[in-house]
Amino acid sequence: MITVREVMNPQVVAVNPETTVEHTIDFLTEHHIGGSPVVDDNGRLVMISELALIDVVFDESIKFAPISRFMTQELQVLDVDEPLTRAAQLFALYAFRRLPVVKNGKLVGILTRRDLMNFALRTNQQIADPLVEMIPSLAPIS
């Protein structure tokens, strides 16, 4: 079984909930990423995205507001030891572009759709169709 640990990127960058909208946008631009985990002092993760900020970026009064006002509260995370098929299922079912990876509740990496696609293309390891695993009746009839 291939695990998330084998494919994730351990070089994850994150922002704090008190980081301003302006600094968060600078951070995303500097790192050429469309979203970043937000890690609070208790280790809680919340995903933000460039798209969530586009609605507020043109409002001058928002520039110095903490990013926590605009964070997504519903967050899916992966454990490092989960099968890679679980990540594939989440990517197939939702519009996620990235998923934070945790170990014992601490952020240890990030897994993106691109990471998963690159892994599938570069290895000879077969990854089961994520939706067929969940709903066997979707399997092609042979």
Give me the tens of pLDDT residue by residue for the chain, a chain 142 residues long: 889 999 999 998 999 999 999 999 899 999 998 888 998 887 778 777 766 777 777 788 888 999 888 877 777 899 999 999 899 889 888 888 899 999 888 889 999 999 998 998 888 766 666 655 666 665 566 6
Rounded-to-integer distance, Cα 20 and Cα 70, Å: 10
Residue 87: C-alpha distances to residues 8, 9, 16, 35, 80 (Å) = 10, 13, 25, 17, 11
Domains of the chain, each with CATH number or no CATH: 4-124 (3.10.580.10)
What is this structure's pTM?
Answer: 0.79
Kind plus residue range of the DSSP H or E element containing 46: strand 45-49
CB 36 within 8 A of CB 70: no
